[in-house]
Amino acid sequence: MQGICLLGATGSIGQSTLDIIAQHPDKFVLINASANESVDKMAAICRRFKPQRVVMGSKKARDELAQQCADLTTSFEWGERALESIASDSAVDQVMAAIMGFAGLKPTLAGIRAGKRTLLANKESLVTAGKLFMDEVVRHNVTLLPIDSEHNAIYQSLPQTASGAHKQDVSKVILTASGGPFRTWSMEDMLAVTPEQACKHPNWSMGQKISIDSASLMNKGLELIEACWLFDVTPDEVDVVVHPESIVHSMVSYRDGSVIAQMGNPDMKIPIAYGMSWPNRVETNVAPLSLVDIACLNFESPDLVRFPNLRLAADAWFMGGTAMAVLNATNEIAVAAFLNRQIGFLDIAKLNEQVLTSANITAVSTLDDVFEADTYARRFAQDLISRGGFS
């Protein structure tokens, strides 16, 4: 029986994780959980799974949840320190790190420092603090399992001794991308894109932020950086191919000419269940893949002119230091501004590029350097939006 701490319980990854827990009550139990402000959703989770501790993003949300669930024995808490505490709780065996964005870094690191198996669905932790993050994984001898479907697929396609084993045999890591809802749209067509259109992913059911990132290919850019840290490669050793069907989740090309791919229907319960049950596998209730029904799989190169965010991510990796934290922070501000209709869809990449190329990039020695860069980039980006000072 594995005790689960679910960071980000009310999001799409959180809900799929809960489905696996419910399907296998003999193998997994929800010990602790967190959410930001989704009180009603968390109340339903508490009543169904009865976790020991729950952390909300604000005192107001915590108080509302405690009132709704006054008959439960669950401890209701709030704030950053409480979030780190539930991740490092002695009753927890695994931490599912599914908090969206940069906010997931500290609690994920808290779980790692406590020696918990870490299921990483929060790519921003590695993007912003890659070397420091991986150093902590090694220092505390933690099993780190990627949950993003692409990185999970690469992990499965590598020798199972370790994610970075036998690197000398690997020729390329191949990340697949669906291309998002605007894969065939012209730049002119994308000028008038609305948040509602950008959030309608053709294959995956995801939250707003990741859906926008997928539409702009920034999600693939962040995944490119994440892959570099996870598998000890550079962007030159990673190929990104657009694969509209989202059936081949990613591949590894070997020096003997072999290519090993992981395939399956696009459902996040597959990589989540793999991470939770590794090195074994459990049922997921996901429909089996029928290659006959699919019949045809398509692949094409990404268009870096229409979708420059992928190029910017590679640039940030090669710049090093705080560049990746700056890019991530700017993109979070840009996506929020687009969702609030302050800027257009194409302005996301324009803002990202302007801040990245204008910012003061420094070396990263401690987490404080990462947090300072994040704060700096958010203020810079917000100022440009307020002044309309980017193009």
Taking the C-alpha atoms of residue 217 and residue 310, their distance in angstroms, rounded to an integer, is 6
Which residues does residue 117 pair with via DSSP β-bridges, in sequence order?
94
**3-state SS record for 147-215:** CCHHHHHHHHHCCCCCCCCCHHHEEEEEEEECCCCCCCCCHHHHCCCCHHHHCCCCCCCCCHHHHHHHH
Omega cis (within 30) before 279: yes
Annotated binding-site residues for 1-deoxy-D-xylulose 5-phosphate read 123, 149-150, 178, 201, 214, 219-220, 223
Binding-site entries for Mn(2+): 148, 150, 223
d(CA 127, CA 226): 6
Instruction: Indicate if the alpha-carbon torsion angle 361, 367, 372, 378 is positive or negative.
Output: positive
- Binding residues for NADPH, as ranges, are 10-13, 122, 124, 207
The residue type of 51 is P
Task: State how far the Cα of 325 lies from the Cα of 377, in Å rounded to an integer.
Answer: 8
Q: Which of 231, 230, 255, 256 is nearest to 171 (CA)?
A: 255
**Binding-site annotation, residues:** 10-13, 122-124, 148-150, 178, 201, 207, 214, 219-220, 223
Residue 249 is given by DSSP the state: E
- Contact between 288 and 263 under an 8 Å Cβ cutoff? The reply is no
